[in-house]
C-alpha cells in the first residue's frame, strides 16, 4: 500500500489520499508487493510531473515538437539503410523535455494522438527529402497501436501523401504491446497489410519467447542496448542466442547502443546485419543528418569514427 503522513505530506484528507496513491503507484511500477511512504523525493517528482502536464496541455505541438534522425547502418556495406525518427520537445516554459518523460505524460492526459500526428507529419516531410533507398522508422506508443483513430490517421496520411509504404517502418516496444496484446496485433496487421514494416523495439527486456514472437506480425527486432554493455561472457552468449532465435523465425535484427568499435566488432562477428548507436551516428536534425552523410549518400564513410579497418 501507499502511505502519507499528516501534516508533512498534506493537511487535508484529499491531499493525503492523493499523495498516498502516488506513492502506491510508483512502488507498484518498481516492485510489486511492497509498501511505500510518500517522501520529499515523491513531492519533488509530483511537482515536476504536474509542471510537465500543464505545459503539455498548453503546448502548440506543431510549433514546439521537432524530430531528430538517427542512422541505422547495414554492417556489410556500412551504409545507412534507415533513419529512426526521434521526438524532441522544446517547451517555452520548461525548455527541453526528454521523450521518455513527455510521451508517458501525453498518454496520461489523452494528448498522445495529437503528439503522434504532429511528429508523423514532420517524419513524412523528412522522408520526402531523403534518397529513395532510405527508409524511416517511426515509434508508436502503447496507446497509438491500440487506437483505431490513430491507425486510421497513419493510413490516411500515407495514402494522401502518396508515400511508398515500403519506405516506412513502425517501432513498438514489448511493454507497449502487452497493454492490450490482441488489439495491438490488429493495429500492427493493418499497417503491415499495406506494406509497412513492423519492428519490435527493446527486444529482450520484456516478454520475449519463441511462442510470443511467432504470434507477432513483425519483420525485425531491435536488440536492447543492455546486451552490449560488455563484449564477453553472458552478454555475448545472450546476443548469440537472440540471433539464433531470430534466424529461426526469419526475422531481421538490429542491435542498439553501439558506442565502441569493440561492440561493433562483436555484433558483426555474431552475424548481425544492422546496428545503431552513437558510434555510427547521433540523433540530429534533418539538415545535419543529410550534411553528415555527405552530398552523395552512396559514398558515405565511417572512417571518422575509426571503422575504416573493419
Same-domain pairing of 67 and 119: yes
pTM over 0.85, yes/no: no
Chain segment 253-290, per-residue pLDDT in tens: 999 999 999 999 999 999 999 999 999 999 999 999 99
Same-domain pairing of 161 and 45: no
CATH code of the domain containing 77? 3.20.20.450
Supply the pLDDT for residue 208: 56
* CA atoms within 13 Å, Cβ hemisphere of 4: 25
Count other Cβ atoms within 10 Å, centred on residue 125.
12
Q: Does residue 40 form part of some domain? A: yes
Last residue of a domain, which of 15, 33, 53?
Answer: 53
- Over residues 44-69, the mean pLDDT reads 92
Q: Does residue 131 form part of some domain? A: yes
Q: What single string gives the DSSP state of each residue in 146-173?
A: H-HHHHHHHHHHHHHHT--GGGEEEEEE
Least confident among 29-43, 91-105, 163-177: 29-43
Same-domain pairing of 83 and 40: no
Strands 79-91 and 220-223, sheet pairing: unpaired
Chain segment 133-167, per-residue pLDDT in tens: 999 999 999 999 999 999 999 999 999 999 999 99
- Please give the residue range of the domain that contains residue 28: 2-53
Whether residue 206 has pLDDT greater than 70: no
Same-domain pairing of 49 and 104: no
Same-domain pairing of 11 and 118: no
Same-domain pairing of 131 and 207: yes
Least confident among 16-20, 60-64, 81-85: 16-20
Same-domain pairing of 72 and 97: yes
Count the domains in the chain: 2
Supply the pLDDT for residue 3: 53
Same-domain pairing of 29 and 109: no
Same-domain pairing of 115 and 48: no
Model confidence band, residue 293 (pLDDT cutoffs 50, 70, 90): confident
Supply the pLDDT for residue 203: 85
Whether residue 304 has pLDDT greater than 50: no
Q: Find the largest Cα–Cα distance for the chain.
A: 67
Same-domain pairing of 291 and 170: yes
How is residue 284 annotated by DSSP?
B
- Over residues 101-130, the mean pLDDT reads 97
Whether residue 15 has pLDDT greater than 70: no
Give dist(CA 248, CA 309) in Å, integer: 31
Give dist(CA 210, CA 281) in Å, integer: 32
Phi, psi of 306 (to 5 degrees): 80, 30
Supply the pLDDT for residue 10: 55
Model confidence band, residue 299 (pLDDT cutoffs 50, 70, 90): very low
Supply the pLDDT for residue 204: 76
Q: Does residue 310 form part of some domain? A: no
Give dist(CA 145, CA 180) in Å, integer: 9
Same-domain pairing of 46 and 67: no
User: Interior CA angle at 201 toward 27 and 103, to 5°?
Assistant: 55
Supply the pLDDT for residue 177: 86
Give dist(CA 171, CA 196) in Å, integer: 11
- Cβ-count burial of 307 within 10 angstroms (0-12 exposed, 13-18 middle, 19+ buried)? middle
Amino acid at each position: 500500500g501507499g502511505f502519507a503522513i499528516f501534516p508533512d505530506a498534506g493537511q487535508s484528507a484529499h491531499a493525503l489520499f492523493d499523495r498516498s496513491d502516488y506513492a502506491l503507484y510508483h512502488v507498484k511500477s518498481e516492485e510489486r508487493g511492497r509498501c511505500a511512504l510518500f517522501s520529499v523525493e515523491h513531492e519533488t517528482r509530483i511537482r515536476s510531473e504536474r509542471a510537465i502536464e500543464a505545459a503539455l496541455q498548453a503546448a502548440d505541438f506543431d510549433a514546439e515538437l521537432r524530430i531528430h534522425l538517427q542512422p541505422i547502418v547495414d554492417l556489410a556495406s556500412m551504409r545507412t539503410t534507415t533513419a529512426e525518427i526521434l521526438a524532441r520537445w522544446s517547451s517555452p516554459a520548461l525548455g527541453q523535455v526528454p521523450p521518455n518523460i513527455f510521451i508517458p505524460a501525453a498518454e496520461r492526459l489523452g494528448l498522445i494522438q495529437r503528439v503522434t500526428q504532429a511528429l508523423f507529419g514532420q517524419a513524412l516531410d523528412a522522408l520526402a527529402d531523403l534518397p529513395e533507398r532510405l527508409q524511416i522508422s517511426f515509434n508508436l506508443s502503447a496507446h497509438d497501436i491500440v487506437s483505431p483513430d490513430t491507425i486510421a490517421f497513419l493510413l490516411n496520411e500515407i495514402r494522401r501523401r502518396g508515400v511508398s509504404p515500403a519506405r516506412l517502418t513502425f517501432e513498438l516496444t514489448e511493454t507497449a504491446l502487452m497493454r492490450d496484446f490482441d488489439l495491438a496485433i490488429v493495429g500492427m496487421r493493418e499497417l503491415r497489410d499495406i506494406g509497412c514494416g513492423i519492428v519490435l523495439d527493446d527486444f529482450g527486456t520484456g516478454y520475449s519467447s519463441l511462442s510470443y514472437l511467432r504470434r507477432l506480425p513483425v519483420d525485425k527486432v531491435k536488440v536492447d542496448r543492455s546486451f552490449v554493455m560488455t563484449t564477453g561472457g553472458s552478454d555475448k552468449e545472450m546476443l548469440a542466442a537472440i540471433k539464433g532465435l531470430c534466424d529461426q523465425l526469419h526475422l531481421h535484427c538490429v542491435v542498439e547502443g553501439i558506442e565502441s568499435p569493440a561492440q561493433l566488432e562483436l555484433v558483426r562477428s555474431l552475424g548481425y546485419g544492422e546496428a545503431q548507436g552513437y558510434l555510427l551516428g547521433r540523433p540530429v536534425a534533418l539538415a545535419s543528418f543529410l550534411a553528415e552523410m555527405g552530398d552523395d549518400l552512396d559514398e558515405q564513410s565511417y572512417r571518422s569514427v575509426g571503422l575504416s579497418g573493419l
